[in-house]
Amino acid sequence: MQTLYTMNLERHAQIHPRVLLHQFDGAIDAGNAANLATEQLLTTLPGKAVATFNIDALIDYRSRRPTISYDHGKFLEATHPSLVLELLRDDNGEEFLFLHGDEPDYRWDELSNAIIHLARSLGVTTAMGMAGIPMPVPHTRPTQVYEHGQHVPDDPNHPKTFGYMEFPAAYGNYLELRLGQAGFDSRGVSASVPHYLLRDDFPQSASALLRAIAKSINLALPVGDLEANSITNLNAIETEVANRPEVAALVQALEKQYDKSLDSVLSPPPDLSLQNADLNDTDLDTLTAQLEAFLESNNLGNGPNNSRNATSQGPNRDQPET
């Protein structure tokens, strides 16, 4: 039987994390919101590897192949997918665990059991995942963040999305469920991303994710870089929209829907779920296709981000041995 992880800390290392954050690259992440949030954490907070997972036992290389470099007649090195549990310190010096890397293809139950064992043995009580979800919202309005989990209180001031649904699970969803069943305070946050920007970087939603996590589980997380990038990104979108009256009209239709939902009740925040979208008979698919074509033709957004590239850039980061 292959072991699923290797510990990188000394046996008697004294660490006291109460929180486990987790994010897996490969599932739906509109606007690369969770990837951008991951990159922000790894490049701004000091940390070190606690455990590295056996990626050969978890990943189908036919769907996510290693990248290999080639130069003048020879192959130089291969870069593999990865899954790492790191110990980070927030801006106030509090330790927390962050599990990040590629979404596993295999052995979900075994991996979940291993993560549960690690979390318990290290003293974790609270776990939280994050993601970006496409929603019929305009880029000109604040990002709504939806918190979910088996122990999240029914807060009337918290935005609501859907009732009962069935859909193919991402591993982050599955782990949130398993951690909750194991007795942890297991939660998740999902940030709304304009559906016409789902394939582009949308740092506004990444910033909203980190702010929501910080508020929910009392961590001091850095968001300054993301907020600065949000201003630049929104200004670029606004400049292009201003030069295209037909696109501006489509954005205004989304704004009207958003504001109508907001004004319909004083509290809670607006219900912006897809089944409630009413754009004055504007066809949502047509609107989406037009806006996507417009934004892609103007090269707005930077495309998908790979958070693994950030793991070597953080301050004082101890790299796992290969």
What pLDDT does 129 receive? 97
**∠ Cα 291 130 23 (to 5°):** 110
Q: What is the Cα–Cα distance from 218 to 181, expressed in whole angstroms?
A: 23
CB atoms within 10 A of CB 218: 13
- pLDDT tens, 146-193? 999 876 666 666 666 567 888 889 999 999 999 999 999 999 999 999
Q: Report yes or no on whether pTM surpasses 0.85.
A: no
Please give the mean pLDDT across all residues of the chain. 83
Residue 273 has pLDDT above 50, yes or no: no
* pLDDT band for position 63 (cuts 50, 70, 90): confident
- pLDDT tens, 274-316? 444 444 444 556 666 666 666 666 555 444 444 434 433 445 5
**Residue % of the chain over a pLDDT of 70:** 76
More confident residue, 275 or 249: 249
The answer to which of 82-86, 233-237, 259-263, 289-293 has the lowest mean pLDDT is 289-293
Name the CA dihedral angle for 287, 288, 289, 290, rounded to a multiple of 10 degrees. Answer: 50
Do 320 and 257 meet the contact criterion of CB atoms below 8 Å apart? no
What pLDDT does 304 receive? 43
Indicate the SS3 state at residue 176.
Answer: helix
Average pLDDT for residues 249-257, to the nearest whole number? Answer: 88
**What is the 3-class SS of 226-281, one letter each residue?**
HHHHHHHHHHHHHHHHHCCHHHHHHHHHHHHHHHHHHHHCCCCCCCCCHHHCCCCC
Residue 38 has pLDDT above 60, yes or no: yes
Q: What is the Cα–Cα distance from 237 to 300, expressed in whole angstroms?
A: 7
- pLDDT tens, 208-231? 999 999 999 999 999 999 999 999
Do 58 and 107 meet the contact criterion of CB atoms below 8 Å apart? yes
The correct answer on CATH 1.10.260.40 for the domain covering 5-271 is: no
Residue spans of the domains in the chain: they are: 5-271
